[in-house]
Every structure is written in C-alpha cells, then in structure tokens.
Amino acid sequence: MGFQVLETSKLLNYARARSLWIVTFCTGCGGVELPPTATARFDFERFGIISTPSIRQADLLLITGYVTPKTLKRIIIVYEMMRNPKYIIAHGSCPINAGIYWDSYNTVKKLDLYIPVDVWIAGCMPRPEAILRALVKLMRMVKEGKALGWKRYLENFEFYRKNQDRLFGKDWRKREIEKLRFYIHD
Amino acid sequence: MALDVIVEILATVGMVFLLLILGLIFMGIARKVSARIHRRIGPPLYQPILDVIKLWSKIDPSSHGLTFDLGSLIALGGAITAALLLPIMGLKLLSFSGDFIVLMYLMELPALGIMLGAAASGNPFSAVGVYRGLILITGAQLPYALAVMAVAAEYKTLSLTEIVALQQGSILNWGLFRNPFAALVIAIIGLALLDVQPFDIPSAPAEISMGPMVEYGGKHLALMLTAHGLEFVVFATMYSIVFLGGVSDPISFIVKTVFVALLAIFIMNVYPRWRIEQAFSYLWKYPTALALLGLVKAVMLGGAM
C-alpha cells in the first residue's frame, strides 16, 4: 500500500467538509438514531451530508453500536474499499470500551486497535443532537485538515494488521474473499 | 475570417461552461425543493458544485480498465454534444436541418455510456442495474419515436430553429397547445430518460445500491454527476424549445427551463418507484396510445390550428 499525496487548499478542504457522504452501514442498535437525524426535525442534509448506499462513493463510516469480531471483519473490508480521504465516527459507548458488554467474550473492547477513529461520541444511546455535534466537529476538523485517520491507517498499517491478525487469525482476508467468490464475475 | 472562428470557439466554450454550472445548480434546486417538500431545510443551491469539487479531490486507488473509464467520458461527451445542438438565446452552434432527431438519440447516450462502463466493472449490482436500464430504454423507445414523429408531422420539419420560428406570434401557437398529446408523452418519457422517480429503476438506491454507479467513485462519479445535471438542463431546454415557444432571451430561458424542471421534481417527490415490468407495461400502453393519438391528430389536421 503506497503513500498517496493529498492536495490541500482552502477551497478543497471546504468542499470536503461540506459534502460528507455517509455509507449506509449500521452495527448494533445505534442505527435507530440516524433516521431522526436525517429527517425533518434535525435534517443533516443542510450540512451537505447525505447517505449513499455505495461504499466507493462514501467518505464517512459511522460505527453505530457494539462491534463483534464477525462485524469487525466487515467494517475493515468496507473501510478499505472506501476511497481516501475517509473518516470514521464511533457512535455510542460500546465502541469506546464495549459499554454494557464490558465482560462479553465476543465483543471488541478497543476499536482503535483495529481501525483509526476520528471522532468519538459518548452515551448510550447518543441522541441526534450529540450525533449532529460530532458531525459538526468532524466538519471543522476536515476544514482545518486535522481529520487524518486515513493517513494514520496507511502509515501504521503494520500495527493495525498485526492486531487484526491476532484477533481473526492469519489469512483472514483470503478466507473472506473465498466466501464472496460466488458473486465475483470477472 | 479568423476572428469569426475565434469568436465562435469562445462562444461554444462559454456556453458549455455555463450549461455545466447550470446543470449542477438544477440538481441543487432539485435537492432543495425535495427537502422543502419533506419539510426539511435542505442543502444550499450550490451543494452539487461542492460535491463535484470534493469528488475531484479524492485520491482514486484504481479503475476497472479502459472501458470503465470511457463510460463516464462517453456520458459527459454525449450530454455536451446534445447541449451544443440546442438553439439557445439566438446562438446556433451545431444547428442543421434534422437536429431534432439527432438530439433525440444523443439524449440517450449518457445512460448508455454509464451502462457500458458499469458492465465492465464486474459488480453484480451493476449487472442488474444495466439489465434494468436497457429494458427501460427499450420500453421508452416506442412512445418516444412516435411522439417525435407526431411533432415532425405537426410542424412539417425536423429543424429545431424552424420549430421555434413556427411557434412565434400567439401563445396558442406553442407546441403545448397545437399537439398536447405529444407534449404529454415527451414529458413522461423525459422522466424515464432522466432516471428519476417513478422511473429510477436502474439506479434504485435502496435495493441495488445505485445500480450501474455502484463501482464509480471519485473523479468518475464527478463526471457522471456533471453529465446528469447537464442532461437535466438539455431535456428542460429541449422541451421549452419544442413545446413552450423557444428560448430566445435569457429571461424566457431561465423561466421556462426552471418551470419544466420543477414539474419533474414535483412528480419525482410524489410517486414511488415502479417495478420494472410495471414501468414497461405502462410505457407501452398509455404513452404509446397517446403518442398514436397525437400522430393521428398531426396527420389529419396538419399544421393548421
């Protein structure tokens, strides 16, 4: 994975900050707070934020709830399919320290060992106001060029990969591709 | 002589640039009006311009081969060529006798370009979207061709400039009142060509995740968004020229095209998406029957009205 140079200027950063597209992918129970954030009461489209079903077009991945190792594999695959620059918001107390699943054998306790997170939202459940506040904070970070999670992932890829391999076992990427082989027609 | 050529090139480039920006603003109007219909505040009108700048600034890791790249270029090229055929504000850039029928085919080129590129991407959602899109185009072809024939028989010409000249004088000379059947049919077909509800079956976001566009991101998607906005403007302008008395000055251009676009936006927000076989049987029943009626009216009564 080579290092890529990102052009930055005031206009480009402003455009990036004002048009964050969320990939429609929810884990756990936090997804129920997103429809109120998107519809008439709170309306995140006034900041230029829309949700897009295609991973290739999205900039922002919301992790909305507890993460099991099985879900984490999908999250990592989705995150790696998104195009740089890309951002992650971890939503709720479960991604921070597993929340009420603190003693569960099957919940990831520290999410940022596996993928880089830009903004955390505390609370169970965070209300739409909290989500909007996190989105506005991320917009400010993007505008100032400080949301560099995607760069951390590229620079420290060996670290993240070692942690992922320890959790899932070696060659987990190959096994995941084998599962999807049926759907790929080249 | 050389000066004339330079002026013509400058006018062409300026017109294309203006129409590209206008297309993005039209998409902004669509998003804002939809938001107001949902009782939301909605994004600013220049939001699609910011989206396109952002998509251009993304770092693209890879593409899926030459055909994949060419798909989005064909889409934008088809839309620009179609835009240059239109006589807008007294400017006749590529006009010739018979440009209406060329325009009719060029308006389908963006959809075909996107499908060509999508078929090269190898994604199953793209494959489903391409097959739906081709079926929809097949369904739209018959009433579209019949309506174009009705318009041609009504005015006894296929040149857009002459069609505009024949509509001058009274408001009752407009194509909308001379042949309301053809006007209605082309309005319905326009929804299918522009891929908006109830005909957004090829790119159904909730079921096949944007269909043909699923593998496109970054710069490819920026080209496609621009092409889609331009197609929107080209269709609205074509409709204003053929049925609403032409766009000879800037004020009538803006008022008439925005009026046509608003009609499409209202329909788009009221009707849900059809299934593919519902859309197909609808297109071959009612618009086809209406277009036949329009053709009969044009041939029996002629241009006299």
Residues of B with CB under 8 A from a CB of A: 31, 35, 38-44, 47, 50-51, 53-54, 57-61, 122, 124, 127, 205-206, 209-210, 213-218, 221
- Cα separation, A138 vs A22, in Å, equals 13
Nearest to B185 by CA among B136, B141, B215: B141
- Report the range of poorest mean pLDDT among A67-71, A104-108, B94-98: B94-98
In contact, B84 and B93? CB cutoff 8 Å: yes
Whole-Å CA distances, B68 to A57, A137, B64, B106, B217: 16, 36, 6, 20, 12
pLDDT, mean of residues B205-212: 79
With respect to residue A2, please indicate whether it lies within any of the assigned structural domains. Answer: no
User: Mean pLDDT of all residues in chain B?
Assistant: 85
Q: What is the pLDDT of residues B104-137, one digit of tens each?
A: 888 888 888 888 888 888 788 888 888 888 888 8
Cα dihedral A154→A158→A162→A164 (10° resolution) = 10
With respect to residue A59, please indicate whether it lies within any of the assigned structural domains. Answer: yes
- Cα separation, A55 vs A43, in Å, equals 22
In contact, B212 and B129? CB cutoff 8 Å: yes
Give the torsion sign (CA, A41, A42, A43, A47): positive
The domain tally of chain B equals: 1
- Cα separation, A149 vs A157, in Å, equals 12
Give the torsion sign (CA, A117, A119, A121, A127): negative
Which chain B residues are within 8 Å of A48, Cβ to Cβ? 43-44, 47, 50-51
In contact, B40 and A45? CB cutoff 8 Å: yes
H/E element, A87: strand A87-91
Q: Is A45 in contact with B50 (Cβ distance < 8 A)?
A: no
Find the distance separating the first CA and the last CA of chain A, reported in whole Å: 23
In contact, B118 and B213? CB cutoff 8 Å: yes
Nearest-CB residue to B124 (from A11, A54, A183): A183
Report ipTM for this prediction. 0.86
A residues 31..90 contacting B (CB < 8 A): 39-40, 43, 45-48, 52-54, 56-59, 83-85
What pLDDT is recorded for position B192?
Answer: 86
What pLDDT is recorded for position A136?
Answer: 92
What pLDDT is recorded for position A2?
Answer: 44
For testing the chain A interface, which of B57, B203, B219 should be mutated: the one with the most A CBs within 10 Å? B57
User: How would you label A71-81 residue by residue, b for 16+ Cβ within 10 Å and e otherwise?
Assistant: bbbebbeebee
Task: Measure B214 CA to nearest chain A CA, in Å.
Answer: 5
What pLDDT is recorded for position B9?
Answer: 82
What pLDDT is recorded for position A88?
Answer: 92
Three-state SS sequence of A32-84:
HHHHHHHCCCCCHHHHCCEEECCHHHCCEEEEECCCCHHHHHHHHHHHHHCCE
Non-local CB neighbours of B255 within 8 Å, separated by 6+ positions: none
With respect to residue A80, please indicate whether it lies within any of the assigned structural domains. Answer: yes
Confidence of residue B182 (pLDDT cuts 50, 70, 90): confident
Please state, for a pLDDT cut of 90, what percent of chain A lies above it.
Answer: 15
pLDDT, mean of residues A117-133: 89
Task: Measure B242 CA to nearest chain A CA, in Å.
Answer: 36
- Cα separation, B139 vs B133, in Å, equals 10
How open is the CA angle B257-B232-B5, to the nearest 5 degrees?
A: 80
- Cα separation, B299 vs B304, in Å, equals 10
Q: What is the pLDDT of residues A151-175, one digit of tens each?
A: 888 889 899 999 988 888 888 888 8
DSSP string, B64-127: S-HHHHHHHHHHHHHHHHHHHHS-BTTB-SS--TTHHHHHHHHTTHHHHHHHHHHHHH--HHHH
Nearest to A142 by CA among A79, A70, A49: A49
pLDDT, mean of residues B175-192: 86
- Cα separation, B32 vs A45, in Å, equals 10
What pLDDT is recorded for position B295?
Answer: 87
With respect to residue A54, please indicate whether it lies within any of the assigned structural domains. Answer: yes
Long-range Cβ contacts of A104-109 (<8 Å, 24+ apart): A106/A68, A106/A69, A107/A66, A107/A67, A107/A68, A108/A66, A108/A67, A108/A68, A108/A69, A108/A72, A108/A167
What is the pTM for the complete model shown?
A: 0.86
Domain limits at A32? 10-183
With respect to residue A91, please indicate whether it lies within any of the assigned structural domains. Answer: yes
Token reading at A90:
């971890």
CATH number of the domain residue A78 falls in: 3.40.50.12280
With respect to residue A45, please indicate whether it lies within any of the assigned structural domains. Answer: yes
pLDDT, mean of residues A110-116: 89
Q: DSSP 3-state assignment of A23?
A: strand
The domain tally of chain A equals: 1
Residue A4 has pLDDT above 70, yes or no: no
If phi over 0 gives left and psi between -120 and 50 gives alpha, with beta otherwise, what is residue B273?
A: beta
Confidence of residue A137 (pLDDT cuts 50, 70, 90): very high
Domain limits at B254? 2-301
With respect to residue A84, please indicate whether it lies within any of the assigned structural domains. Answer: yes
Residue B190 has pLDDT above 90, yes or no: no
- Cα separation, A114 vs A108, in Å, equals 9
H/E element, B268: helix B250-270
What pLDDT is recorded for position B205?
Answer: 76
Q: Is B54 in contact with A83 (Cβ distance < 8 A)?
A: no
